[in-house]
Every structure is written in C-alpha cells, then in structure tokens.
Amino acid sequence: MDKQRSQKRAGEQINLDKGEAQILQGKIIDDIRMPCASLKIVFECSNKLNFTPDNQCYFTYKNYHWIPIVVNEGLSPNNTWHYEMNSLPVEAFQLITKPAEDTMILARAMNLQLTTSSSSLKIPCPIINYYSSLLVQEIRRQSFNRAYINKQMGDAYFIYFDSNSMYSVTWKQLVNQKAKSLENYEIVNGQNTVKFIDERVQAYFASAIGPEVWKQPDYLNRMFGRKIQIQTTTPAIFANMYTIRFTDTDALDQEKSFLCIKSECDINEANGFINTFAEVNYIEKEKINVSTGLNI
C-alpha cells in the first residue's frame, strides 16, 4: 500500500507554466562557481506537494523540469500552501553509471549536446556512480589541480550545463574569446545601477592556505580580480568576455575585458537583470601566487 502511494505521488508535482500556483518571487541564476543553472522560486498553491530527497519528484517551469535541493514549506494566512525552493535542472541528478572519457560522452549520458563553441575535453579519470552535477564539479576540480601542478592555469576546465546543452572549454579558451561590448549601457537613475566590488582580500582569507587541499573556490578566488555588478533591463551572456564602456560617462569605463561570472534574472521585474563581471588574473606558465594569493 505504501509503495503504491509513493509511486502515485512521484513525478511532476506541479506545473507552474499552466498557472497551477501563484508565483510570488523567482530568480534564474547562472553562476560560474556552480556546475549548472539554478532556480530560486517562491509560490503558493492550493494542494500540498510531495518532494523527496531523490530525483523522483519535480516541478515544471519555463518548460523545464526542476528538482528542489532546498524546500521550505508552510501554510499561508490564505490557507494555501507556501513554498520557497532552491532548485536545479533534473539533468543535474542524472546518475552516471558508465565511464565518460570525454565531455561529449558525458553530455550524451545526460541527454544533452555540447554547444557549437565547445570542445570535447578529455576526462583523464572517469568516475562512475556520481550524480552528473557532482561529477562535473569533480572533473573541474581535478583539472584545476593538474593545471596548477603544470603551471598552466589556462588548461583548467570550465564545464557548465542547463536543460538544453553543455558548455565545455578550457579557461584559456574562455578568457581568450572575442569580447562583446557593453557600450550601450547608460548610467540612468532607476534603470541601471553599477557597483564596483573588490573582495580579493576577503577571498584570500576565506581560502585554503599552505599545505591544505585546494578546492575549486580556492583557485577561483585567486583568479578573479575586481568585479563589476550591473543591475539593468539588459541581460548579459553568461560566461562571455565583455568590454565595459558607458555612453553617458567615461568615469566608469574599463581598460581590461571582464568575464560575466554570474547572471541573475528576476522573473517578476522588468529591470530584473543583475550581471556580475570579473577580471581574470592568471599568467600562463606561472603558478598562482600562493604566498599572497593577491594580484594587487
């Protein structure tokens, strides 16, 4: 009886595209530190939903299936069920049971295709019985370790996916791509908000020091320099290089190109794009500076 009940309750719990809930807040996020896109969403519905700590229960939004990794559930004053969730695409929970020797094979195992600008990168140590999202993170971490040992940080891998495709390049390819232009941006009150962020000292102290085992954030903390965050009506293409020029002032123009490391889209706001760009500071054929970790 319990088995029949669990089977009946598995699968799609709610389809937000069909208006089965009132969406109160929502944000789609691409972040270079993550293996894939994510969705933060708040909604209320008339029925209690069932989400279990596996990949059997999901919801639909923007024609994609999402699996919550954090669920806050409660009753609202309107006597409806209130949900606040952080979610990943269902593809993030694909169990990889066969060795993937390169990223093209890995993409196929996840029912995805590499983008046209991707390279099929060799995976020296194929691992099985990992969820795809965890496996992508581990492949990236191993590639940073190899690149660091070989003093070639540009050979580290950047692998990222959503429900459509997988993007697979080396950091050398990522940083050396032709920079797009942000020259049409205007500093207009109420439309564009620009913030300069320098958190290199904090990032250094938050990272592993000396003989500790480095994780992916440790490498990224040392590779990223100054950041620029722009809230605007205009989206930016995630993981693309940009030159930053403003049409109504040159006080904020930048000489270097910046990498779009994070893109947030507020689904309820017309001015809801928050794009974060960062300098990428690494020198080919030279180790990251472990003693200070800072390129100031």
Q: What is the pTM of this model?
A: 0.86
Whole-number pLDDT of residue 43: 98
**CATH number given to 177-280:** 2.40.30
Task: Give the residue among 189, 12, 17, 199 at the shortest CA–CA distance from 90.
Answer: 12
* Domain edges within the chain: 2-91, 94-174, 177-280
What would the pLDDT profile of 75-121 be if each residue is shown by its tens digit?
999 899 999 999 999 999 999 999 999 999 999 999 999 999 999 99
Residue 266: how many other CB atoms lie within 10 Å: 16
- For 201, 202, 210, 239, the CA distances from 221, given in Å and listed in that order, are 10, 9, 15, 16
- Rounded to the nearest 10°, the torsion over CA 32, 262, 132, 128 is 10
* Positions of the chain with pLDDT lower than 50, given as ranges: 1-8, 187-190, 248-249, 251-252, 283-296
Whole-number pLDDT of residue 189: 45
What would the pLDDT profile of 114-154 be if each residue is shown by its tens digit?
999 999 999 999 999 999 999 999 999 999 999 989 988 99
Q: At what angle do helices 216-223 and 132-149 cross, to 10 degrees?
A: 60
